[in-house]
Structure 1
Amino acid sequence: MTIDAVRSPTLDTYFAYVANLGTHTFYMMFLPVCFWCGQTTGGRALVHMLALGVFWSGWVKDLLCLPRPLSPPLQRITMSGSAALEYGFPSTHSTNAVSVAVYMIYHIQDGGTSLPESFQLPAIIACYWYAISIIIGRLYCGMHGFFDVVIGSLLGAAIAWIQLYYGPAYDNLISQGDWYWALLSSLAILVAVRFHPEPADNCPCFDDSISFAGVNIGIEIAHWHFAKSPFSWDHPVPSTIPFSLSKLGLIRTVLRLLVGVVIVFVWRAVAKPTLLKGLPPLFRQIEYVGLSLPRRFFKRASQYTKVPRLLKDDNVIPPARDIPKFISSLGKPRKRTVSVGPQSEADAREMLAQREIHRKQSLRDLQSMSSNGDIAVSTAVVDIQEAPDQSKLLGHDLAQGRSPYQSDSEQEKVVFEGIEKPRVRYDVEVVTKLVVYAGIGWLSCEGNAVLFALMGLGLR
C-alpha cells in the first residue's frame, strides 16, 4: 500500500501541524518557559537532549549526504522552507521526539514529576502519541524513508538514556564545581562545532547545530554562575529560578513570561545586527595573519565589504516581525506546503541519478528482448521507455517544460535552474549565531531571573 492510497485532506492537515511540534523553533520557544517556571532539571535535560539530537543527526547528515526520498513520485508536505534543503538520513524530528518522549515517560513512571496519579497514564499515552505521530508523519509527508526514522529514533533513545543516567551528575559538576568545568564544557562544544563535517551541498544542518551549541554554552555558564547568586534557589536543585504559581498568581506569572520573551527578542534584535556589522573588520585581520578557519559555502570577510540585511537566515527562532505571518500560515497548511519535484541540489542529483539508472535498465531490458528476437530496438527510443516509478518523473518533467529527448547536460541544466538558489552565507554568521544563542541561553537561565526579581515578578 502506497502513501497516496491513504492520503486525505484531514491527514495532510494533521501531520503538517504535528510536524511543527518537532521543529527547532517549537522547542526553542518552549524551553525558556521551563526555566522561568522553576523546572531547571527538566529544562536543562531538554536542552542537552535537543542539542545532542540536532548536532549528531546533523553531523551524520552532512557526513553521509544522503538525500530525502525522491519527489516525484512522492509528494512532500512541510511547513518549513528549510527542512527540504537538509539531507534525509537520519531524521532529526524522530531523534528529538523520541528523546523527549523517552525522558518524559521514564520520569512519569519513576514518580519524578508532580503529576497526580490520575493524570500519569494519560500523560504517558500523550508522550507515546506525540512520538509516534512525529515518526509516522515524517513518512507520510514524504520527508523521510523508513531507515531515516528508525535510525533517528534509535539515536534519540540513546541520547535520552545518556541524559537519564549521566545528566544529574553532570549538572551537579557544573553547579557545584569550579569555574573551569563550565569553561571546559564550552570549549568542548566549540571544538565539536569546528569539526562538524562539511557537506557536498549548501545544507542548513550546520546552522542549526551552531544555534543549539550556542544555547548550550549559555546555559552552562549561567548554571554555574547563577547557582552562586543570591537570586537563585537550591531546591529542588541548585540554580533554580524561584517560582510558585500560588504565591505569584496568574497575572504576575503571565507578565513574567511575556517580559522574558520580549527580552529575548530584544537581545536578538540588537545583538545580531551589531555583530554582523562589527565582526567583518576583525575577521579580515584574522584572515590577514592566516588564522581564519574557512568553511565551504561561507564567503570570507575579505570577499565582501559589509553584510547585507539577511532574510530567512535563521531556522530556529524567527524574527519578531515574522511571527504574525507564521501564525497566520498555520491556518492553511495543506494549501501552502504540498510540493512535487526537487527542492535542493541533493534532490536534483538524486533525480538525475535515478533517471539514469532507469534508462540503463530499460536499455538492458530492450537489448535482451532484441537478442531473443522479440523486437528490434534502437537506443533512440530508450529515453521514453520508462519504469513504473519513472513515468511519474517523466510526467513531472513534461509539466515543467523538460523534454525526455534532451541531452544529459541539457536536462541537468534545466533541473538545477528550477531549484531556488541558496542565499549567500557569510563567515561572520557562525560567530554571530554562537554569541546570540549563547545570550539567549544565559537570559533563559540567569539574566531574566535577576530582572524578574528587580521588577517584582520574582520570589526571594
Structure 2
Amino acid sequence: MAKGLNGVPDAGLRSIDHYRNQLPLWRYWPRQKLIPLVRYETPYLAWLQEKVRTPALDSYFAFTANLGTHTFFMVFLPFLFWNGYTSLGRGMVNLLASGVFFSGFIKDLLCLPRPLSPPLQRITMSGSAALEYGFPSTHSTNAVSVAVYALTLLNLSDSTLSPSLNVFLQGITYLYVTSIVLGRLYCGMHGFFDVFIGCLLGALLAVMQYSYGAMFDDFILSASGKQILLVVLVILALVRLHPEPADDCPCFDDSVAFAGVILGLQVSYWHVAKTNIPWDEPVPGTVPYRFEELGVLKTAMRLIIGVALVVVWREVMKPSLLRVLPPVFRGLEKLGLLLPRRFFTAASQYSTVPTQLKDHEVFPTFSDIPSILTNIRHPRRRAISVGPQSEADAYETLAYREKRRRESLSNSNRASPLADVGNRATSPAPETPSPKLSRKRSKLHEYENMMGMGSARVATGVQRVESSPLTEPFPDLEIEPERDEEEVFAHIKRPRVRYDVEVVTKLVVYSGIAWIVMEVAPFVFDQVGLAPT
C-alpha cells in the first residue's frame, strides 16, 4: 500500500467507509440522511442542464459566477467606505463575512459532496471545479444576503434616490441574484437543496443585519477596551470551533480570512471613531468624501491608491509572517501550547514555508491581476470539467460505485438462473409505455447510469467536453476496491501542503486589510490632497 507523508496511507487507499471512520456519529448521521437527496437530484439536474444549455449561456453564467465570489466583494467593498458609505459598507462586510463563515461552517460540519460529474458538466471560468463541499451554496448565500439587504434599503420610505434610479437599481439587484443562484444549478456546481438552503441562510443573515446592524454599530462605538477585547475573543473562539472536515477542504481558509476581516473592521472602527480623521455625519466613523469637491479624477486616484495600499500590505505581511512565525510555533509546540488542526502540517515537520503559496486566496495578488483582466476582456473563456475534481468528489464516486455493486449483487442473488429463465418464458410481454413517459424515464435512467463513472477531464474554450463513452455500469463486480480507489484518485487535483502558521497569518493579514481601509487609507488621502477640505 502506498504511503503519504509521515507514513499515513494516501487518501485513495483508505476505507470505502471513509466518512464513517472520520466523522463522529452526531455528524455522520445527518450526512447519511442527506446523501440520498443529493444523489436523487443529480439526474434531474443533468436533464435540466442538457435541455437549456447554449454556448452563450455557458459564457454568461460562468462569468456572472465571479460576481458572487469573495474576491469580487473584497476588491469592491472598500470603495463604499472610501466614498462615504460607511454604514452600507459595514452592513455588506458583516453580511459577506458571516455568510462565508457560517456556510463554510456547515460545509465542513456535514461534508456533503457536490452533485456527481458525470452526468453533470461543471462550467467555470477558472479551469477547475471548487475544492469545497457542496452544501450549502456560498455563492447563493452571498448573493441573496446582499440582494435582500439592498432591496430592503431601496424600499425604505425615506430613500433619497429618484424613482427612476430606484427602479433601475432594484432591477439590477433582481438580475444579479437570479443570475448567481440559477447559475449555480446551470453550471453543475450545486444541487437544488444546496441552493435552497444557501438562499435561506442568506435571507436570514440579511434580516439579522437590517434588524440589529445599527444596534451593533452603536455598541462598537461606545464599547470600552475590555468590551472590544471580548468581541475579539468571541471571533477567535468561533475560528477555533470551526469543524474539522473529513477531507482537505479549503472552507476553513475562507472562514479564517473573513473572521480576520470582521475582527479588524470592529477594532479599527472603534479606534478610528475616536480620532479626528473621520466625520461624524452621516454616521460616526465616516471616511471624509465629497464628490462635488473632488471630482472624477481625484475619486479614481483615491480608489487606485487605496487598493494599492491593501495589496502592498498583503504582499509584504504575508511572506514576513511566514518567515517569522515557524520558529515561534516550534517553541509553542514544545511547550504543548498549540492545538493541532487536521490537514495543517505542524511547524516541527518543516523548516521553511514557500513565500508564494498558490492556494484559495480571497484577495488577489499582483500576479493574479493579469489573469483577472484577461477573464474580464474575454468573458467567453471558460472551462468545462467532467469527472471528480476533489477528494469529496472522489469519495462520493467510490461510494456510489459501491452502492451500485451491492445493488447488482443483491438483485442477482434474489433469483436463480433457472427461475429467471422460467420467468422470461411465462411472463407476458410488458406493455409499451407512452412515448413521452418512455423518453423521460429512459433519459433519467441514462443519467443515473453515468453517476460514479468517468475520470476527471478539463478543457478550456467554448467547446464542450463530452464524457467518456458509456458502457454497462460496473460490469466487473470483482474489481479490487483498492485498485478502484487508485484509479479515481489518480485524476483529481490534490490539495497543496498547508502549514499551521497560515491560520495566524491569515488572521493578521486580513484583519490588517480592514485596518488599511478604515484608518490608513483615509490618512494617506488627507496627506496627498485627496480629501475634502
Q: TM-score range by the shorter chain?
A: over 0.9
Q: Which residue of 1 aligns with 2:507?
A: 434
- CA change 1:284–1:372 in 2 (3 A) is same
Determine the structure 2 residue equivalent to 1:30. Answer: 76
Partner of 1:389: 447
* Letter of the 2:100 counterpart: V
Alignment of 1:257 with 2:303, yes or no, is yes
Alignment of 1:300-319 (within 5 A): 300-319=346-365
Which residue, out of 159, 163, 173, partners 1:117?
163
Q: Distance in 1 between matches of 2:69 and 2:158?
A: 26
Q: Confirm whether residue 221 of structure 1 aligns to residue 267 of structure 2.
A: yes
Structure 1 segments unaligned to the other structure (5+ residues): 377-385
Report the equivalent of 1:291.
337
User: Could you say which residue in structure 2 is the equivalent of 1:450?
Assistant: 523
Once residues 255 and 73 of structure 2 are traced to their aligned partners in structure 1, the CA distance between those partners, rounded to angstroms, is: 14
Residue 256 (structure 2) pairs with residue 233 (structure 1): no
Q: Is the 8 A contact 2:127 2:385 kept in 1?
A: no
Distance verdict in 2 for CA 1:54–1:112, change over 3 Å: farther
Counterpart CA distance in 1 for 2:63 and 2:515 is 30
Listed one character per residue, the Cα deviations across residues 372-406 of structure 1 (whole Å, up to 9, x for unaligned) are 83349xxxxxxxxx963354358625949999643
**Alignment CA distance shift 1:82-1:163 (3 Å):** farther
Q: Aligned-pair RMSD on alpha carbons?
A: 2.3
Cα pair distance change 1:449/1:375, threshold 3 Å: farther
- Output aligned runs, 1:27-426, within 5 Å: 27-80=73-126, 84-111=130-157, 113-332=159-378, 336-368=382-414, 370=416, 373-375=419-421, 388-393=446-451, 396=454, 399=468, 405=476, 406-426=479-499
Change (3 A) 1:103 1:372: farther
Measure how far apart 1:310 and its partner are. 3.3
SS in 2 for 1:231: coil
Structure 1 pair 391/321, CA: closer, same or farther in 2 (3 Å)? same
Q: 1:147 to 1:372 in 2, by over 3 A?
A: farther
- 1:369 & 1:112 partners in 2: Cα distance? 74
The letter of the residue matching 2:505 is T
Return the alpha-carbon distance in structure 1 between the equivalents of residues 469 and 268 of structure 2.
53
Q: What letter corresponds to residue 442 of structure 1 in structure 2?
A: W
1:371 positional shift: 6.2
Give the drift of 1:353: 1.2
Could you tell me whether the CA contact under 8 Å between 1:227 and 1:238 is conserved in 2? yes
C-alpha contact 1:173 1:181 (8 A) present in aligned 2? no
How far apart, CA to CA, are the structure 2 residues paired with 1:320 and 1:67?
33
Deviations 1:350-372 (A, max 9, x none): 11111222222233344446468
Does the CA-based 8 Å contact 2:95-2:145 persist in structure 1? yes
Per-residue deviation, residues 267-291 of structure 1 (Å, max 9, x unmatched): 1111011000000011111111100
Q: Secondary structure at the match of 1:305?
A: coil
Count of residue pairs the alignment pairs up? 452
Give the 3 Å change call, closer, same or farther, for CA 138–291 of structure 1 in structure 2: same
In 1, Cα distance between the equivalents of 2:230 and 2:148? 29
1:217 Cα shift? 1.1
Q: Which moved more, 1:82-91 or 1:112-121?
A: 112-121
Is the Cα–Cα contact under 8 Å of residues 129 and 389 in structure 2 kept in the other structure?
Answer: no
1:419 partner amino acid = I
Task: Give the deviation of 1:83 after TM superposition.
Answer: 5.5
- What TM-score, normalized by structure 1, do the two folds share? 0.93
Residue identity matched to 1:62: D
- Note the C-alpha offset of 1:330: 4.0
The offset of 1:118, in angstroms, is: 1.5
Question: Which one-letter code corresponds to 1:392 in the other structure?
Answer: M
Query: How far has the Cα of 1:88 moved from its partner?
Result: 0.4
Counterparts of 2:290 and 2:410 in 1: how far apart (Å)? 73
Aligned CA distance change for structure 1 residues 112 and 222 (closer, same or farther; 3 Å)? farther
Bigger shift: residues 128-137 or 233-242: 128-137
- Using the TM superposition, name which of 409-418 and 41-50 deviates more: 409-418
Whole-Å separation in 1 of the counterparts to 2:212 and 2:76 = 24
Q: Deviations over 1:233-277 (max 9, x none)?
A: 000000000111111111111111111011111111110110000
Which ranges in structure 2 are unaligned for 5 or more consecutive residues? 1-46, 423-443, 456-466
Look up the SS of the partner of 2:208 in the other structure: helix
Q: Which residue of 2 aligns with 1:382?
A: none
Q: Distance in 2 between matches of 1:296 and 1:82?
A: 24
Q: What is the deviation of 1:326?
A: 2.2
SS in 2 for 1:247: helix
Contact kept in structure 2, 1:358 and 1:390, CA below 8 Å:
no
Q: Report the Cα distance in structure 2 between the residues aligned to 1:82 and 1:220, rounded to whole angstroms.
A: 35
Residues 369 and 375, structure 1, Cα contact 8 Å, conserved in 2 = no
In the alignment, residue 54 of structure 1 is paired with which amino acid?
V
Contact 1:88 1:148 in 2 (8 A): yes
Q: Deviations 1:106-161 (Å, cap 9, x if unpaired)?
A: 00000465421221122112212211211111011111111101111000011001
Contact 2:62 2:382 in 1 (8 A): no
Letter in 1 for 2:177: A
